[in-house]
Structure 1
Amino acid sequence: MKRDEDSGGMWCLVMFDLPVKTKRQRYAATVFRNMLLDMGYGMVQYSVYVRYTPTQAGNRSTVKMIKDNLPANGLVRILHISDHQWSTAARFSSGKRETSEETPDFLTLF
């Protein structure tokens, strides 16, 4: 039987709660969010970011960077899901079902 991660690309989902009571905490949270954007993640919801890679190995390499840059007292959960699992997720906006995002195309350089 084929495992999900063998069936195509993988999505790395980063979910976090960061303290934002002080100016310093808000700044650290902004720096963390900007780091995720710089790493190629896109915002799904305010504290949920996602990135697609053709293999799970591409996602594993970013876990250390996220861990090393997590602000003090921040909580993070990193989840790797298959492209198939991502495509079957239900999405709703204002009570109406939305279609899933397409798998991103990647440019191959020789």
Structure 2
Amino acid sequence: MKRAHAYRMIEGWRPAALVSPIGDINEAQARELAPALKAYGPEVTVALYRGVKELRGDRKVTAADLSEALAVLPPPRQLVRPDQVHDVLSVAAAEGRVPRLAPGAGAGL
């Protein structure tokens, strides 16, 4: 294993442990959550993952879904409470700003 890969795995460990204590997320998903953890903290990171998971429904949550969702969050100073994450994601999905999370989005995305 190369040093850079080891550091990526170390960086992804904390968000992975926060959102999925039983370890059912992959390394790519954990890497996408790392910036959220750094910028917003643990509560928002967990709320982000759960919000994406809820909006995806039966479809698998991917790293691309998490990246797209993180991109529509307001700056950390404007996000007052972690429960606002679900509202932000729901509105963005309804408006088509997060097409991967929109209702009826194809599973092949």
User: Which gives a bigger RCO, structure 1 or 2 (Cα 8 Å, sep 6+)?
Assistant: 1
TM over 0.5: no
Give the TM-score, by structure 2 length: 0.25
Q: Comparing both structures, which one devotes a greater share of its residues to helix?
A: 2
Q: Comparing both structures, which one devotes a greater share of its residues to strand?
A: 1
Give the TM-score, by structure 1 length: 0.25
Question: Larger Rg: 1 or 2?
Answer: 1
